[in-house]
Amino acid sequence: MRFSNRTPDDLSHNQVTQAIEGAGVIAFDLTQSNPTQCGFNYPTKLLEGLGQPEALRYQPEAFGFPAARETVARYLASQGQLVKPENLVLTASTSEAYSY
């Protein structure tokens, strides 16, 4: 099966990949978009917040959760950038951000 005219006929590993595999170098796949496949060491208490009654309430916010925008604004202020929380838009992905 051919996907596109831009896809090469030879899909074997290129010289860089072969060199990395041959040297036993640990490489990070920066194209991986699934965090569960990246080998992160998650904190043991990461999911504790889901056990709170507030987590059972769904209240969508088009521009991001207000408390999260306030937190980002405070962080930016600590870095010398004054931004009002109401001027921030938090998105779930770069694709969503591009749409804005």
Q: Does the pLDDT of residue 19 top 90, yes or no?
A: no
Please write the tens of the pLDDT for every residue from 38-82: 888 999 899 998 888 888 888 889 899 999 999 999 999 999 999
In the predicted model, what is the mean pLDDT of residues 27-46? Answer: 85
Q: What is the DSSP string of 25-50?
A: -----TT---GGGTT----TTTTGGG
Residues 6+ apart with CB under 8 A from 63: 69, 88, 89, 90
SS3 92: coil
